[in-house]
Structure 1
Amino acid sequence: MNLPSLPPPEQFIGDFYAAFTTAALTDDDPVEVIDRFHTPDIVQIADGIRLDRDRLVAHLRPLRKNLRECRFEVHEAVFDGQRIAARMTIHARMRGDENVVTEVFLFAHFTPDGRMCRAEQLTRTRSPTA
C-alpha cells in the first residue's frame, strides 16, 4: 500500500468507511456490499467480538434500520505495507435523533485492491458534547 497512487492513510481509511457506510445504507443487497469492501475470509474483531463475513452481513440489517447519518473523523493513520493503524472518531445520528460518538483504535489489513481482510478494533463511547 505504499504506492504513490494511494491517498494519504487518513484519507484512505476515511474514504473507505464513508463509502462502505453509504453503500450499507443505500444499496439493496447487503451481501454485495460486504463483498465489495471485504474479502470472503474477512475477520473483524471489535472489542473482543469476532465477526466473520456472515456476521457482518447480519450486522447491516440493524445498521440500516437505526443509523440516519454518520461522519468519520480520522485523527491519525499510518500505513505499513498493506496494514494500517488509525485513530478516529465516529459521529452517528441514530433513529430518534440520538447522537452517538465512538472513538475507534483500528489495526487493519487490506488487499492490494483496497478490500479489508482483517481488522481489530478497540472502541469507547464518548459524550456527544465532549
Structure 2
Amino acid sequence: MTTATRPSIAAALTDLLFTPGLDLAEAVDRHFAPDYRQRTDGRWDDREQFVAHIAHLRTVVASGRVEVLDELVQGDRYADRHVVDVTKNDGSTVRMEVYLFAEFAPDGRFRRVEETTLMLRGAEADRSIGSAR
C-alpha cells in the first residue's frame, strides 16, 4: 500500500472528533484495524475502550483542529508530532501537543498507536483529556 492511501492521525482525529455528521463506527472503521490498540500516557486501551473514549469526547468537544508539525512514514511505521486545539461545549479551550508512534495493519489502517501528550493550555482537569471516558 502506498503512503498516499494511508490515513494520517490528522485525518483520523478530524473524522473522529471534528466531523459531527460522520457516524462514529464509520469513522473508526475508516482509520483503525479490528485489532487496534492504543497506549496514551502509559495506559493501554483496546479498540472497544478507544471507541468509548472517542464517544465520550464527542459529548464534550464542540470544535477543533489538528496541526501536524512533523510526520514520518517508513514501511508500516508512522510517527508524528501534532498539536490539537479543542473548544469544548462549555466554551473552554484545550491545546495539547502529542508525540505519536504507530504501526499500520496490512490494509493501511492503524493497528497500534503509542502516544505521549503534553498540555500546552487548559484547565488542570483537562490534563487527562487524551484518555478520558
TM-score, structure 1 as length reference: 0.80
3-state SS of 2:4 partner = coil
Q: Name the counterpart of 2:14.
A: 18
Indicate the RMSD between aligned Cα atoms, in angstroms. Answer: 2.4
Question: Are 1:78 and 2:72 matched, yes or no?
Answer: yes
Amino acid at match of 2:93: N
Aligned equivalents of 2:11 and 2:29: distance in 1? 17
Select which of 74, 89, 103 maps to 2:97. 103
**1:13-69: CA deviations, max 9, x gaps?**
42333233345x3334x3343223211111100001111111012112211110001
- Ranges in structure 2 where 5+ consecutive residues have no aligned partner: 123-133
- Ranges in structure 1 where 5+ consecutive residues have no aligned partner: none
Aligned equivalents of 2:17 and 2:36: distance in 1? 17
Amino acid at match of 1:19: D
Change (3 A) 1:57 1:15: closer
Aligned residues of 1:70 and 1:91 also touching (Cα < 8 A): yes
Q: Could you list the runs of 4 or more consecutive aligned residues of structure 1 that deviate by over 4 angstroms after TM superposition?
A: none
Aligned residues of 1:34 and 1:56 also touching (Cα < 8 A): no
